């Protein structure tokens, strides 16, 4: 991959910001607009930017495909697991009230976990998609 100086400098500058914004959206989700879907996509956008600028090898070096695959599955597991946990705690499926001592804290905890799961899965899947499309282009 040819190096584009301006692109790589701008990218290096932007990527941390985008990542930070992703985390903001992720954890602010239970108070305001935001949540796992959006945060996951924003996170993925940062990684995809890295992929486009620095190439597949560089990106895969710090986010390997195997990790992404596990991440994609793990997110779903967290989501469904929270539901099952609330079952085990004596409530209904996805009834967050029972997850902590009082209902409000329970709702907080529950939504946080669920959104985390969603975020991980969405980010992982988006990055995986980008990886596989990128790969195809080079082989063909």
Partner 1 sequence: MREHLPILLVVLPMLAAPICSMLPRGRQAWLLATAVSWAVLAIAASLLIRVHAEGTISYALGGWPAPIGIEYRLDGLNALVQVLVAAIAACVLPFSGRSVQDEIDADRQPGFFALLLLLITGLLGIVATGDVFNVFVFLEISSLATYGLIAFGRDRRALLAAYRYLVLGSIGATLYLIGIGLLYALTGTLNMQDLAARLPAVADTRTAQTAITLVMVGLGIKMALFPLHLWLPNAYRFAPSAISAFLPATATKVAIYLMLRFVFDIFGVGFAFGRLELNEVLLALAAAAMLSASLAAMQQRDVKGILAYSSVAQVGYIVLGAALATPIGLTASLLHLFNHALMKGALFMAMGCVMLRVGRTDLDAIRGLGRRMPWTAAAFVVAGLSLIGVPLTAGFISKWYLVLAALEAGWWPLVILILVASLMALIYVWRVVALAYFAPNESQRREEAPLSMLVPLWLLVLANIWFGIDTRLSVAMAESGMRVLMAGPP
Partner 2 sequence: MSWLAHFNYWAVIVVMMTGLYMAIAQSDLMRKLIGITLLQTAVFFLYISFGFVRNAQVPILTEGAERYSNPLPHVLILTAIVVGVATTALGLALVVRIRERYGSIDEAELASLADEVEDLEPHHDFDDQDEHP
CA angle 116, 114, 74 (to 5 degrees): 65
Site residues for partner 2, window 101-130 (CB under 8 A)?
Answer: 122, 128-129
76 is in the binding site of which of partner 1, partner 2, none (Cβ under 5 to 8 A by kind)?
Answer: partner 1
What is the dihedral sign for C-alpha 34, 21, 53, 76?
A: negative
Site residues for partner 2, window 28-67 (CB under 8 A)?
Answer: 31-32, 37, 56, 60, 65
Q: Which member of 72, 85, 118, 122 binds partner 1 (CB under 8 A)?
A: 72
Angle between helix 5-28 and 103-139 (nearest 10): 150
136 binds partner 2 (CB under 8 A): yes
Distance of alpha carbon 80 from alpha carbon 135, whole angstroms: 32
76 binds partner 1 (CB under 8 A): yes
Name the site residues for partner 1 (rule: CB under 8 A): 69-70, 72-77, 80-81, 83-84, 87, 91-97
């Amino acid at each position: 991959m040819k190096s584009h100086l301006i692109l790589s400098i701008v990218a290096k500058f932007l990527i941390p910001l985008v990542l930070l914004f992703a985390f903001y959206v992720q954890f602010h989700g239970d108070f305001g607009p935001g949540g796992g879907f959006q945060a996951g996509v924003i996170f993925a956008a940062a990684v995809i930017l890295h992929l486009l600028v620095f190439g597949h090898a560089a990106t895969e070096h710090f986010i390997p495909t195997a990790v992404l695959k596990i991440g994609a599955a793990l997110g779903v597991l967290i989501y469904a697991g929270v539901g099952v946990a609330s079952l085990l705690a004596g409530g209904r499926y996805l009834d967050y009230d029972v997850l902590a001592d009082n209902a409000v804290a329970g709702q907080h905890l529950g939504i946080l976990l669920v959104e985390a799961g969603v975020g991980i899965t969405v980010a992982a899947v988006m990055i995986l998609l980008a990886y596989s499309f990128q790969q195809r282009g080079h082989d063909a």
